[in-house]
Amino acid sequence: MRVPTISTYATSTYQLGVHTEKVKDANEVMSTQKVINSLSDDPIGMTQVLDLSENIKHLKQIETNVEMGRTWLSGVESTLGSVNDLILEMKTSAQYLSNASLNKTDRKDAVENVNNMIEQLMSLGNTRVNGNFIFSGTKTDTAPLKLNSRENPPRVSYEGSDTAFRIRSDKNAEIPVGRVGSDVFWHDRVTINSTNNTIYFKEDPGHGPDYERLVTAVIPDGSYDVKDLQKVMKNELNRASAQDGHGVTYEVKYDDETEKFSIMEDGSFKGYMATEFLWDTEAVITEDAYVDKVASGGTIHPDDINVKVHDKDAINLGDEPKEFRLTWAWDEVAGHNYWALENDQGVALPASIGAPDPVTGEQTFTYGSNGGTVPSKIVGTNQGIDIYFDNNDFADMSIAFDHSVQESDYVKFTINPETMTKVGNTSLGHEIGFVKENITSAPHVSNRLVTHDFNLSGPVTPITIDPSNNKIDFQEVTGKGDNQVIRTLTASVKQKDYLSHDELAREVEKAMEAESLSKGSRIDYSVTWDEEMEKFTIKENGTRLDGFNLLWESGENAPVEAGGTGQSIGTILGFGAPGEIKEDDIKSPMTASRTVEWGIFNTLMDMKNYLEEDDVEGLQRTIDRLETSYRHIGSVMSDNGMKYKRLEIRDVITTEMGLNLTERRSSIEDADIVEAIMNLQSIQSAYEAALGSTSKIIKTSLMDYM
C-alpha cells in the first residue's frame, strides 16, 4: 500500500525546516560568539547572565563613583594642606608680634596682613572640585563661607548644610567625600591654659565696701567641650566663693539653641547678693584690709555679733591673714572680768588691765610690746569693745554684742591684709562669649530704704496690709524662643498688722508661692529683709526660671497714675516712692554677649583687635588658639587620608569583582569557536542531505501512481 503523497511531502518539508532552523541557530552562534542569544536558548542560563550583567553594570557605576570620590578627597587634602601652611605662618607672626620689643605702631601695621590671611582662608574654604563646593556639605552649589563685615564685630559664617556630600561605594554603603565646613574651620573643643583660665568676680552683699570680696576662679588647664566647661566653671566658681568670697552657690548653663553660656546665683544664698563679673578689667585692683570669719562660743551666737571697721589702713597688719581670739575671762588678782587676747599663733598675750570705770564700766587693756602685730589697746565691757591697732586716740574697729556676754564666752575673727591683684587679660570670657563688658548679676531689691520704725521700746506701730495695698504682680518666664512661656500672676498678701519686717517678708513669700503653685510654674521663692541694708530682696530659690519680672508699673495693680488699681504692695516694700510710678523690675540670667564659637576665623578676628589695641597677652593667647586650630585641621586631614585609602581599597575590590563576574558570565554565554565551527559543519551536512532527499520527494508526481 502506498503512503499518500501529501503526507510524505509534509513530513519531508517539516524535517527540512528543522534542519534549516538548526543552521540558522548555528550561524547565529558563530556571528555573536554566544551560545545564549534568547531566553529559549537556555532559560536558566539567560537568567544567570542577566543577573551577572546587572551586577557588572552596578560595579562600573561604583568605579565611577570611587573615581569621583578620590578626586574630591584629593581636592580636600590639597586645600587643607594650604590652610595649615597659613595657620603656621600666622602662628609665627603672632609669636613675633607678641615680642615686648615691638611697639604699638608695629602691631597696628600687621592688621592688614591678618586681613589678607582671612581672605586667603575664605578663598580656600570656598574651593570647588568639578564645579562643586567641597566644604558645603550637600549644598554643593552654595559657597560655604561668608564674611559678614557689617556685624560688630565682623564674623565669618557657614552657609552650607550640616550633612557631608557622599558617594555610594557599595550597594548598601556610602562614604562621605565632601566636608561640612563648620566642622573643618570651627571646632567643638577649646584649650584652657594660663592665657585664658581666670574668672574675676566681686561679691557684694550690700553692706558696704568692707563686705565686698574680690574673688578669682581658675579653670584647670586642659581641653574642654561646652558641656565639660560648663561643669568645671560651676565647680570652680563655687570653690572660689567658698574659699575667698561669701560662700555663694552659682549655676552655669549652656543653651544649645542660642549657643550661649549664662551664669546666675542659684538662689540659696540668704538675702541679697550682687555679683559683678569682671570680664573686661585689665588693671591693678586694691582690696582694703577687712575682717571676716567671725565666730563665737559660749552664750554668744554669731548673729549677736556686730563688727565695724573704722580705719582700714590701721588693721592692715601684714602680708598674711591673722586670727585673734578674745575671751571674757576672770582675773583672780584684780577680782573682775577682762578680755583675754590670743594672737594668730594661739598665744595668750599679757596685758595691763585697767579697773572698770565706775560710771561706764569700761576697762582698758593695754599691750605694750606687741611690735605692731597685735592690737595695742582694747577698751570695752562685756557688751562691746573698741580695738586700737595704732597709737592714736581713735578706735580702728569695734565689736558690739546684742546681749551681755558671760564668763568664758569668746569671739574670734580674722583680719585679712590689704591685697593688690593684677587683673590681666587672661579672662575666660574670651572663650565663652563674655567680651568687653563687666556684668553685675543681682536679685530684685528695694530701690529705696524701708525706714518704718516699729518703736520696740514703746508703743508698736505696725505695718497695716489691707485690700488697698496687698497685691504683687509678677511674671514667670520659662523657655526661650518659640518654646517660651510667660505666666503673669497676681499674689495677694495676707491682710493683717505686721509687727516686723521679717514677718512681712515671710507672708509675701508665702503669697507668691501659693499663686505660683496654683497658676504658675510651682516656683520656690525667697523674700528676705536685710536689717543693715534696710531693704527687701525678692528672688527665686533655684534656677528654674529663665526670667522673673516684678510688674510694678505694667501690672494691673500698678499706681493709678500708671493705669492700675493702685493696690500694689511695692511702695511698702521700698520699690518706688509714694505716688511715684515705679518701673518694672526685669530679671534674667547673666547671658553671654555672643555665641560660643571656637575656630580659625574667630581667632584671626580677635587677633586683629589685639593688634589694634596693642594687647600682648591677647597675642599670646592667639598663639595657643592657632596651635589648637592647626591640630584640628591635622586631624581632619588624617580622617581624609583614611577615607582616600578606603576608596583605593574599594577600587581594587571592585575591579577584581568585575573581572570575576565578567568571567562567570562569559563561561555561561560565550561560545567555544572551534566547537561551534564543527557543529555548524555537521549541521550544514545534515541540512544538505535533507535538501537532497526532499527534492526527490517533491519531484514525484501523480503519474507515478497511474
**DSSP characters over 472-536:** EEEEEEES-GGG-EEEEEEEEPPPEEESSHHHHHHHHHHHHHHHHHHHS----EEEEEETTTTEE
Alpha-carbon span 146 to 156, nearest angstrom:
6
Average the pLDDT over each of 406-420, 553-567, 685-699 and give the range with the smallest value.
685-699
Confidence (pLDDT) at 670:
56
Label residue 342 by pLDDT band (50, 70, 90).
Answer: confident
| Positive or negative torsion for Cα 31, 34, 38, 42 | positive
Q: Give buried/exposed letters for 282-303 (b at 16+ CB in 10 A, else e).
A: eeeeebbbbbbeeebeeebeee
Instruction: Return left, alpha or beta for 440; rule: phi > 0 is left, psi -120 to 50 is alpha, else beta.
Output: beta
Q: What is the DSSP string of 571-611?
A: TTTTSS-TTPPPPPEEE--EE-SS---EEHHHHHHHHHHHH
DSSP designation for 267: S
Confidence (pLDDT) at 347:
73
Average the pLDDT over each of 151-160, 185-194, 363-372, 445-454 and give the range with the smallest value.
363-372
Alpha-carbon span 195 to 606, nearest angstrom:
14
If one compares 697 and 119, the residue with the highest pLDDT of the two is: 119
Alpha-carbon span 596 to 603, nearest angstrom:
12
pLDDT tops 90 at residue 192? yes
| Positive or negative torsion for Cα 649, 655, 658, 664 | negative
For 90-142, the pLDDT digits (tens) are 999 999 998 878 888 888 889 999 999 999 999 999 999 989 999 999 999 99
| Positive or negative torsion for Cα 99, 102, 103, 105 | negative
pLDDT tops 70 at residue 671? no
pLDDT tops 90 at residue 550? yes
Contact 539, 267 (CB under 8 A): yes
Alpha-carbon span 310 to 308, nearest angstrom:
6
Domain boundaries, the chain: 52-189+598-657, 197-287+422-427, 290-417, 447-591
Helix (H, G, I), strand (E, B) or coil at 465: strand
pLDDT tops 90 at residue 358? no
Alpha-carbon span 621 to 420, nearest angstrom:
24
Confidence (pLDDT) at 56:
64
Residue at 501: amino acid letter: H
Which residue in 560, 486, 299 sits closest to 410, CA to CA?
299
Confidence (pLDDT) at 419:
81
pLDDT tops 60 at residue 373? no
Q: What percent of the chain has pLDDT over 90?
A: 47
The half-sphere exposure of 194 on its side-chain side, counting CA atoms within 13 A, is 1
Alpha-carbon span 129 to 136, nearest angstrom:
12
- For the ranges 286-295, 440-449, 677-686, 696-705, the one whose mean pLDDT is highest: 440-449
Could you tell me which CATH number the domain at 52-189+598-657 has?
1.20.1330.10
The half-sphere exposure of 577 on its side-chain side, counting CA atoms within 13 A, is 3
Exposed / middle / buried, residue 629 (Cβ in 10 Å: 0-12, 13-18, 19+): buried
If one compares 64 and 266, the residue with the highest pLDDT of the two is: 266
Alpha-carbon span 546 to 124, nearest angstrom:
42
Alpha-carbon span 427 to 197, nearest angstrom:
6
Phi/psi of residue 148, nearest 5 degrees: -95, 80
Beta bridge mates, 474: 489, 550
Instruction: Return left, alpha or beta for 75; rule: phi > 0 is left, psi -120 to 50 is alpha, else beta.
Output: alpha
Beta bridge mates, 387: 378, 397
Average the pLDDT over each of 19-28, 391-400, 537-546 and give the range with the smallest value.
19-28
Confidence (pLDDT) at 371:
53
Label residue 286 by pLDDT band (50, 70, 90).
Answer: confident
pLDDT tops 80 at residue 703? no
Alpha-carbon span 476 to 6, nearest angstrom:
110
For 572-595, the pLDDT digits (tens) are 999 976 667 678 999 988 999 888
Beta bridge mates, 252: 263
pLDDT tops 80 at residue 456? no
Label residue 1 by pLDDT band (50, 70, 90).
Answer: very low
- Whole-structure pTM value: 0.73
Label residue 53 by pLDDT band (50, 70, 90).
Answer: low
Average pLDDT for residues 522-550, to the nearest whole number?
94
Confidence (pLDDT) at 174:
81
| Positive or negative torsion for Cα 663, 665, 666, 672 | positive
Strands 283-287 and 419-423: antiparallel
Label residue 37 by pLDDT band (50, 70, 90).
Answer: low
Label residue 398 by pLDDT band (50, 70, 90).
Answer: very high
Lookup: cell for 194 = 594660663
Alpha-carbon span 574 to 572, nearest angstrom:
5
Q: Give buried/exposed letters for 249-262 (b at 16+ CB in 10 A, else e).
A: ebbbebbeeeebbb
pLDDT tops 80 at residue 13? no
Which residue in 555, 553, 548, 539 sits closest to 587, CA to CA?
548
Compute how many other C-beta atoms are within 10 angstroms of the C-beta atom of residue 329. 16
CA distances from 706 to 3, 565, 698, 701 (A): 14, 140, 17, 10
Compute how many other C-beta atoms are within 10 angstroms of the C-beta atom of residue 645. 11
Exposed / middle / buried, residue 548 (Cβ in 10 Å: 0-12, 13-18, 19+): buried
Label residue 45 by pLDDT band (50, 70, 90).
Answer: low
Contact 214, 421 (CB under 8 A): yes
Which residue in 299, 261, 268, 186 sits closest to 597, CA to CA?
186
Task: Find cell 510524505 and name the residue.
Answer: 8
Alpha-carbon span 133 to 689, nearest angstrom:
73
Confidence (pLDDT) at 623:
92
Alpha-carbon span 569 to 561, nearest angstrom:
15
If one compares 490 and 696, the residue with the highest pLDDT of the two is: 490
Label residue 680 by pLDDT band (50, 70, 90).
Answer: low
If one compares 642 and 345, the residue with the highest pLDDT of the two is: 642
Average the pLDDT over each of 212-216, 321-325, 676-680 and give the range with the smallest value.
676-680
Helix (H, G, I), strand (E, B) or coil at 325: strand
Confidence (pLDDT) at 675:
63
Alpha-carbon span 351 to 379, nearest angstrom:
12
Average the pLDDT over each of 129-133, 304-308, 452-456, 521-525 and give the range with the smallest value.
452-456
If one compares 369 and 381, the residue with the highest pLDDT of the two is: 381
Average pLDDT for residues 445-458, to the nearest whole number?
79
If one compares 242 and 454, the residue with the highest pLDDT of the two is: 242
Contact 357, 377 (CB under 8 A): no
Confidence (pLDDT) at 698:
62
Label residue 385 by pLDDT band (50, 70, 90).
Answer: very high
Instruction: Return left, alpha or beta for 346; rule: phi > 0 is left, psi -120 to 50 is alpha, else beta.
Output: left
Instruction: Return left, alpha or beta for 563; rule: phi > 0 is left, psi -120 to 50 is alpha, else beta.
Output: left
- For the ranges 59-73, 219-233, 359-373, 393-407, the one whose mean pLDDT is highest: 219-233
